[in-house]
Amino acid sequence: MTPVAKRKMERRKTFNDYIAKKQLKSTKQRDTIFNEFFNNYMGKHVTVEELYEGIKQNHPSIGFATVYRTLKLFKESGIASERNFGDGKARYEPIRSETEHHHHMICTECGQIMEFANMQIESCLLQVAKLNEFDVLNHKLEIYGKCSNCSD
């Protein structure tokens, strides 16, 4: 089994476990949204509206509210992250592995989003928090500017 396929199963299990733990129900809609999101938006940062429009193509009966609620569920269960890049719309992205962690550079010109990770920044940050006796739950680092295409 490829690592991608393995991760796919893990994610499914995590979600199913969450559903079970919270005494929620498995539904066709949740399945559909799960598949659409994790098959078509890997490495993307999609808004609720965008995902809804995408799903509507093949599943016209699924409502916006259900997509909205299901993405929230993905977030709560730890298989997706919510992001906010300052345009007033929440974005969601699949979490690629249990341990991965990254930040973003957002081109203010063309909207392109680039990802990066940096161990040194992460450890500096934890050190700062420790120094201030601050118990870190999560953090975000965003760089805004122009990508190489747009800064010519």
Contact characters 113-132, Mn ion, x per CB under 5 A: --x-----------------
89 binds DNA (CB under 7 A): yes
Residue 110, contacted partner among DNA, its own copies, Zn ion, none, CB below 5-8 A by kind = Zn ion
> What is the greatest pairwise CA distance in the chain?
54
Phi, psi for residue 58 in degrees, rounded to 5: -100, -15
Closest by CA position to 104, among listed 95, 115, 112, 93:
115
Q: Which is nearer to its own copies, 60 or 86 (CB)?
A: 86
Contact characters 46-65, DNA, x per CB under 7 A: -xxx-----------xxxxx
N residues, the chain: 152
25 binds DNA (CB under 7 A): yes
Contacts 24+ apart (CB under 8 A), 40-43: 41/92, 41/93, 41/94, 42/94, 42/96, 43/93, 43/94, 43/96, 43/115
Q: Which is nearer to Zn ion, 19 or 147 (CB)?
A: 147
Least distance CB 24 / DNA (angstroms):
3
What are the residues binding Zn ion (CB under 5 A)?
107, 109-110, 112, 147, 150
